[in-house]
Chain A
Amino acid sequence: MAEELMLDLRNIHKSFFIGTPNEFEVLHGINFTVNKGEFVSIVGQSGSGKSTLMNIIGALDRPTEGEYTLDGVDIEKAKDHELSALRNKKIGFVFQTYNLIARTNALKNVELPMMYAGMSRGERTDRARMLLEQVGMKDRMHHNPDELSGGQKQRVAIARAMANDPAIILADEPTGALDSATGRLIMDIFHKLHEEQGKTIVLITHSPELSQETERIITLKDGTIMGETAGNWPAIKAKEGM
């Protein structure tokens, strides 16, 4: 596979309370890249700065210093509304707490990013159905989030993340609130998206065990990258014959 850069972070610094006596730096110069089609995990204990890093990767926040390019787009030069468009089209978020919109059924939840992208109603409904079918939620697509189990909610959230066919899926502790069997199911969906559709996935987790399921592991500690190691995924894949 031709190595094509999807994420390129160079010397990323992030400070809070800039210009006040409380100013402190959370990220101290992060450098790493993610290639297109890669399944990478970022592992770190709480307080290691992984949430801050995720916010920067997800274009929810801007670095104080450094350069960040996402699929060829220079983030620090983008205006606010351009960042909105970027999040909409290039990034698919999967949150630990699902973050489905209440009182809105699964189908409408999946349609939401497509609505913000300006897709026509018929087109987005068709696509939302197709995506929900892919994650095995076809028969529950007219249910509201409060009628769904945690695993079902997360599957809807994954379908939603896929709505605008993003360049990268950014999953923040996607199995953190699920029991291990359901968590397994969710991880299988990620692997399927990775293997069958060639999606670039960045998994953020505190669990070293879960990170082993990816191709490459980036370990974060105290706002610095401690090292990169290869994950076990190629081996697991070979063993399971996928």
Chain B
Amino acid sequence: MLFTENILVALAGLKANIMRSLLTMLGIIIGIASVIAIMTVGNSITLIVNSTMQELGANNLEMGVSQKSQDSGESENGMNFGTGYVRDMTDDDLITKDMLKSFKEKYPDDVKYMLISESVGQGGQVSRGSKNANVKITGYNADYVKFSDLDMVAGRQFLNQDYEMGKKVCMVSDKLVERVFKGDSDAALGQMIEVKTGGDYYDYYIVGVYEYVANQFSFGASDNPTTDVYIPLETARIANHTQNKGYSYLTLVTSINTDNDTFANTVRDYFNVNYYSRNDAYEVMVISMASMMDSMNTMISMIQLALSVIAGISLVVGGIGVMNIMLVSITERTKEIGTRKALGATNSSIRLQFITESVVICIIGGIIGIIFGILLGTFAVKLMGYEAAVSIQSIIIAVAFSMAIGVFFGYYPANKAAKLNPIDALRYE
């Protein structure tokens, strides 16, 4: 009963001093808006990073050749020259096919696929008459093509001999067929396409057409998207003159029952003990995508938290502003307080009235801040070219927090009002 009356009185008071109320709220508005904006941006980035990584495969282990860690390169007199010169990577430092073969034989149950890819040139174009399509040539090994699980529209996937002999065959997307072959997939089969990338031309026979799936994070729906021209890995390596070299980087897809964190260590130890113990500068490093995702998420939320805390400082400043204006308001209304007390208001009802008033200021400020924050955050995320994800949680926290500010910074002035001596308050001019 008193509650609604108090809110009405508070609103009437705010309306009577609209400029003053707005200025008082400004601190809260700015504080809440920046916290919400930061949360929105952080949230969106986390979502984007997570789904990108999910797409890459959260069950994967990324392994590659990297410089030996610094502490193992200590010189004899105990001084660390690790920051000094490290020789360039040579072909001898790479992971060879033989290594991978024995590795796979050793852990047949854990390693499902070993994904290796190599691109040829940068992005390029396929032209045929006046028509063209944007493409990227990438060579994939058999495991990779199996893992990609392409939906074939026409033709076939690569055969073993394609992989082994590095035949000049390719699989193209239905998008490319749509643009270059008027959508007739069957007509495209067996045709040769010429891909121009940089200054070079590469010719491949089309053996299959796969269904193109748009990346959910590609910005806008282009009618000429860059699609993959799949070629066998060996073909790409011949084109790049790397067919006799090892690999510097590959992805392991493990089976569902494998504990990736443990297996990452097993893999690293296997390679480093067997093949890299005598290498002076390089070793194999293995990262589990899941743990990378975890550390990435932890990092983002740490940054988010740190920024929010900084933004939160302006909330404290805003709260002090509210407290200040409440003290002014109470001084102005000393006589009203005295009158209310003479009419039978208890100390606690006076206290409640003024706390309600400060909470109302803070909540209104908070709501305006939330609106501004969402707009600001959404705008920032859109600028980066992504979909904004507003966190409902942060809105609830913001409302609760502005309420808490209202109570916290309103309590002292309200208590001061409640403790006024009715006689002094009545006599106040």
Contact = CB atoms under 8 A, between A and B. Distances in A.
Interface stretch (A24-32, A40-48, A100-108, A125-133): A100-108
A84 B335 contact: no
A84 B423 contact: no
A93 B347 contact: no
Contacts of A81: 346-348
A99 B12 CA distance: 18
B344 A88 contact: yes
B73 interface: no
B16 interface: yes
A113 B422 CA distance: 15
Contacts of A61: 422-423
A15 B78 CA distance: 87
Contact of B342 (A93, A100, A121, A164): A93
A84 B12 contact: no
B9 interface: yes
B344 A116 contact: yes
Contacts of B1: 115, 118, 120-121
Interface in A80-116: 80-81, 84-85, 87-89, 93, 95, 99-104, 112-113, 115-116
B5 interface: yes
Contacts of A229: none
A64 B422 CA distance: 17
A149 interface: no
A112 B340 contact: yes
Interface residues of A, number: 29
A110 B315 CA distance: 39
A120 to B, nearest CB: 7
Contact of B343 (A80, A102, A113, A120): A113
Interface in B325-376: 335-336, 338-349
Contacts of B346: 80-81, 84-85, 116
A207 interface: no
A33 interface: no
Contacts of A60: 341-342, 422-423, 426
A160 B12 contact: no
A116 B343 contact: yes
B349 A116 contact: yes
A223 interface: no
A87 B340 contact: no
Interface in B108-124: none
A160 B340 CA distance: 12
B13 interface: yes
Contacts, number: 67
Interface residues on B, range: 20 to 34
B79 interface: no
Contacts of A104: 9, 12
B221 interface: no
A113 B12 contact: no
B335 to A, nearest CB: 7
B343 A160 contact: yes
B256 interface: no
Contact of A103 (B5, B16, B342): B16
B422 A102 contact: no
A89 B346 CA distance: 13
Interface string B416-429: 00000011001000
A87 B339 CA distance: 11
A71 to B, nearest CB: 15
* Residue with the highest number of chain B CB atoms closer than 10 Å, among A60, A85, A88: A60
B392 interface: no
A95 B349 CA distance: 22
B334 to A, nearest CB: 12
Given A118-B1, A121-B1, A101 B336 contact: yes
B344 A87 contact: yes
Contacts of A115: 1-2, 5
Contacts of B2: 115
A58 interface: yes
A188 to B, nearest CB: 24
Contacts of A113: 343-344
B342 A58 contact: yes
Contacts of B349: 116
A102 B12 CA distance: 10
* Residue with the highest number of chain A CB atoms closer than 10 Å, among B2, B344, B345, B426: B344
Interface in B34-77: none
A235 interface: no
A164 B345 CA distance: 13
Contact of B426 (A80, A84, A89, A99): A99
A88 to B, nearest CB: 2
B343 A103 contact: no
A185 interface: no
Contact of A102 (B336, B345, B347): B336
Contacts of B345: 84, 88, 116
B392 to A, nearest CB: 35
A140 B155 CA distance: 90
Interface in A155-173: 160, 164
A117 interface: yes
B343 A112 contact: yes
A101 B423 contact: no
A181 to B, nearest CB: 26
A130 to B, nearest CB: 18
A182 B400 CA distance: 52
A191 to B, nearest CB: 24
Interface in B247-306: none
Given A87-B342, A115-B1, 18 more contacts: A60-B422, A60-B426, A84-B341, A84-B344, A84-B347, A85-B344, A85-B346, A88-B343, A88-B344, A88-B345, A95-B339, A100-B339, A101-B339, A101-B340, A104-B9, A104-B12, A115-B2, A116-B343
7 contacts: A60-B342, A61-B423, A81-B348, A84-B341, A88-B343, A116-B344, A117-B344
